[in-house]
Amino acid sequence: MRDVYDVAVIGGGPAGLYASRFAALGASETLLVEKKERIDGPTVCGEFIPSLGELRKLLPRCEGLMEMYRSISSATLANRTRYVRVHGPSNKQYNFRFEGLVLNKGVFNKTLATAAENAGVELHTATTAKGFTREDCMKLSLRRTNVKAITRANVIIAADGFPSGMVRAGRLDHHYVSSDLALCMNALMTGVKSEEDVVEMYLGNHVAPGGYAWIIPKGGGIANVGLGVRPSRLTPSFSIRYYMRSFLSKHPVASRKFSSAKVVSFSAKVVPVGGQVKRVYADRMMLAGDAAGLVVPINGSGIPTAAMSGRIAGTIASGVAQNTRDIADYQCAITKELSQEIDRGLVYRKAADLFMGSDDLFEIVLSLIGTGNVAKVVKCESGVLACLSRLLLLVRLGKSTIYG
């Protein structure tokens, strides 16, 4: 490990892998550290991303989308899906076309890591960033197998997920309250009897309070099965494990798909669904991916936004290290390419929060807005705000009947 780097990236997920690669492509000496022993190790993720065509609709101002899809090979890709099926609280179905890709995310990360190393990135796994101090350079404290190390960098990119140790060390404020967090649990399962071209979402307070459950087919009866709940809506008697067990064994529709299924592994994590942090940079530091809150709040999608924020961060960090860019350019670039869609997803999530308190009311709302608008909300497309605003007004006025 060198004494000084131009750019140090913390976190070896898509955000960090893209950030380090693009920093190195900008002729910067770049360090990437990841706390896991293997870049391609198990991930806590549903592994689903939209197809390139769908993502271009979602992020129309985002540059470099094609670059991410070039990294997807036959080894990286587990399955292609064509539809999404949303089950309301009473299991009324809303089906719509939405083409997607289900990744082998560990292989995907390994592919990105190889590209980063080929660009000149120095990668260290099983290495934890413990903190930093601001001196002439950023003095970074690391630990690898109980051995302490110190290095320096002109710029640090925090891509270490949520909650971010780097954000905490930098004393930055993410502005989230408890309702802005989702606790997610995912099971990789075999023997699942699901339609292999359909991603399923299940709604209702009896299923996943404040969130939804999912079945994401990976092909050959293998699927990611999980749910996300809001800790603010849980009670001590009903934990996320309770809802996961109930979904797998008691749900009137979903449980039939698991009658012969077996769990290969469980994983869990906290996902920020409170929108982008107010400021995605500080003195000689940038935040990317989940550390910056760059998750679409209405559906929890985070892989594409993580990768694209990493690309932006790495490119600008290289310029900052070489005194050709201003670090504030990062905020402007994120605002231009990603913020509008993140903000829209937050508006949809907050609207849904008001309706989801009552399963009966939520079912009425879903029926009133119809399949087309359900699809727009799930995909975080524009064009639903006027309809939702009217419904919200009626709810706030305490109407017992909602008129079409």
pLDDT at 395: 62
**Tens of pLDDT, residues 54-84:** 999 999 999 999 999 999 999 999 999 999 9
**Residue 123's pLDDT band (cuts 50, 70, 90):** very high
- Overall size of the chain counted in residues: 404
- 17 and 53 fall within a common domain: yes
Q: Into how many domains does the chain fold?
A: 2
Q: Average pLDDT of 43-62?
A: 93
What CATH number should be reported for the domain holding residue 308?
3.50.50.60
Alpha helices in 59-160 (DSSP H): 65-70, 105-118
Supply the range of the domain harboring residue 114.
Answer: 4-74+105-177+276-344
Contact 313, 26 (CB under 8 A): no
d(CA 183, CA 321): 37
**Tens of pLDDT, residues 311-327:** 999 999 999 999 999 99
- 171 and 201 fall within a common domain: no
Distances (CA, A) of 74 to 116, 121, 354: 20, 25, 42
The residue among 251, 272, 293 that closes a domain is: 272
SS3 240: helix
Is residue 388 scored above 80 in pLDDT? no
Q: Average pLDDT of 386-401?
A: 64
The pTM score is: 0.93
350 occurs within a structural domain: no
SS3 302: coil
376 occurs within a structural domain: no
Q: What percent of the chain has pLDDT over 90?
A: 85
Is residue 239 scored above 80 in pLDDT? yes
pLDDT at 398: 58
- 336 and 267 fall within a common domain: no
